[in-house]
Amino acid sequence: MNPTLSSSPPGTVASVVGKYRWTICSLVFFATTINYLDRAVISLLKPTLEKVFDWNAGDYANIEIAFKLAYSIGMVGVGRIIDKLGTKLGYALSTVLWSLSAMGHALVSSTLGFGIARSFLGITEAGNFPAAIKTTAEWFPQ
């Protein structure tokens, strides 16, 4: 019978990995949840933002298109970047950059500014799924 992480004696490397794998899983879960919240919150704020910034439906659509286009472009190449940097650095860098991009929305007051902020958010959030999948594969091997 092959020893598994769950059957390893306490104090071994395998048992330490077993302790941390669920912590890593929780961190990936929370990062992905925040990723989705960042993406969805603008639709909840749409009525308020339309009043405050005097947007029309076309302005809002352009802002959403900017996000989706940047996210799509980011998904094309960010997996290779995560592979090159590794999951620790790649995921951390992606999370820091998308957090800064999310904060950047507070600095803008025009449709163009929001479009640019959403573009940065889209391209930086694209790193979540490649990094999350790779992290899961590394910490939960078959």
For residue 141, the number of C-alpha atoms closer than 13 Å in the C-beta half-sphere is 7
In a structure prediction context, what are the per-residue pLDDT tens digits for the chain, which is 142 residues long?
444 555 555 555 555 567 788 999 999 999 999 999 988 999 999 999 999 999 999 999 999 999 999 999 999 999 999 999 999 999 999 999 999 999 999 999 899 999 999 999 999 999 999 999 999 999 988 7
Q: Specify whether the CB–CB gap between 104 and 117 falls below 8 A.
A: yes
| pTM confidence score | 0.82
